[in-house]
A = this chain, B = another copy of it.
Amino acid sequence: MLRLTRHALAEFGLRPIRPREDVGRLVAALHAETRCDSVCVLNVSVLEAQYRLWESCLPGVRPFYAIKCNPHPVILRALHLLGAGFDCASPAELRAALAAGCSPSDIIYANPQKTASSIRAAHALNCDLFTFDSEHELCTMLKNAPADRPGRYVLRLLPPDESASICKFGIKFGANPQEASRLLRLCRKLGANLVGLSFHVGSGCGSVDAFRLAVQYMGTVARQASELGFSLTLIDLGGGYMSRGSTKHYEVPNARAGITPPSFEEISSALLEELAKIRPHFAPDVRVIAEPGRFFSGDSMTLGVRVFGRRIVFSKEESEYAGETEEELLRAGAQVSEVKYYVGDGLYGSFNAIFFDHVVPHLTYVHGDGTPYETPYGPTYQSHIFGPTCDSLDCILADRPVPLLEVGDWVVIPAFGAYTLAAASEFNGIPRPTVVACLEE
């Protein structure tokens, strides 16, 4: 069994760390070296541990990592070495997968809506496994395939029940039963090379039944397909698989929606059970894949953002106290109305996940030397923690009790690798966090 080693990932110059190294201390040490005010620690060993977990829970289901979740080249290279294929959504992602060493046959171009030029670009890269969910897309794919080599097409189905998912995709993608029947007949009529079926229950799915129902629906469509003469060779179980750590960022949204998410083990065992039932409708040599993203990259990255500014706002009565500086006023017992902190990354950077991924970041506080703030905290103040841009919307924590942090302290967010860096911009000219890849030795 392959193990990730510094040798295997030599070109990335991984930093050796101890197993279960304290991330707060690591962040402080990395700041001392780089002077960066936002640092991402990418722990490759976590990817490996997750890969083992996947293999043990879902034997026979090969993960095709969803690059969109976090396209960092170390993640892609490590997952390729471990044996993953890739789920891509654009020619740029196809090129990233190939650059990681992946073979074109280990890629699924799973964006159900592609431009004609993207389809041609994929064929030029020898990638020919495509997802679709509409007549127009099917025709565009047929029209843009090379004459001598037809594409292989996977029909994406609308899961029957998305109600327990935080990010629902059904409004945008997936064929309902009526559409699926029509598309199957169209495939037959147009001679399209339909090879498989897929679904996506949505991110942050809180129900085992949602997975069960989706597989059952897939079975129904596979039977129809087989009645039309198709011998399907691919089952794609989509994405929506949480990692342990990244569920913490969903705790508040889940609680709000009344969702208690099932464990990966519960989901896996339900999937295996349902899969066994639908296999007869597929070809005997059917391959089963899935498209996890968050499951791998979520826990692998920890973000540290440095407190570089602090502003204590006192209550109106401050003038009664002798003193001009914040320190003098604090010492004299002036009442604090609120504290505003300014940190190295924000909503336009990694914390775009607050908007786009519905997360409530799980913040921990670390002293400048790397030691964590003791919990339960002593006295706290109502505080805002703002990102570094000029926009007031750029706020990662609004009006919550926080211990009095010092400039130079760190806000550390564990398991913050999914849908964070992937959609970060450099608004206001603020650089994205520096990523330091590490390996436990």
Contacts and interface: CB of A to CB of B under 8 A. Distances in A.
Max chain B CB contacts within 10 Å: which of A114, A390, A429?
Answer: A390
B428 A168 contact: no
A286 interface: no
Interface stretch (A16-24, A89-97, A240-248, A254-262): A89-97
Given A68-B390, A170-B392, A428 B111 contact: yes
Q: How many monomers of this protein are in the complex?
A: 2
Max chain B CB contacts within 10 Å: which of A169, A422, A427?
Answer: A427
B172 A427 contact: no
A393 interface: yes
A89 B389 contact: yes
Contact of A90 (B140, B424, B430): B430
Contacts of A318: 178, 182
A432 to B, nearest CB: 10
A340 B158 CA distance: 15
Interface stretch (A213-221, A307-315, A371-379): A307-315
Contacts of A225: none
B429 A391 contact: no
A384 B423 contact: no
Interface stretch (A52-60, A130-138, A263-271, A296-304): A130-138
A113 interface: yes
A316 interface: yes
A136 B310 contact: yes
Interface in A121-146: 133-137, 140
A326 interface: yes
Contact of A92 (B90, B319, B390, B426): B426
Contact of A93 (B179, B355, B428): B428
Nearest to A168: B392
Contacts of A140: 309
A352 interface: yes
Nearest to A327: B135
Interface in A388-441: 388-395, 407, 422-431
Interface of A: 35, 37, 67-68, 71, 88-93, 96, 110-111, 113-117, 133-137, 140, 167-173, 176, 178-179, 182, 185-186, 189, 308-311, 313-314, 316, 318-319, 324-326, 340, 342, 344, 347-348, 352, 355-356, 384, 386, 388-395, 407, 422-431
Given A68-B428, A136-B326, A172-B395, 12 more contacts: A67-B429, A89-B389, A89-B428, A92-B431, A111-B389, A111-B390, A113-B308, A115-B388, A173-B390, A178-B316, A356-B391, A422-B427
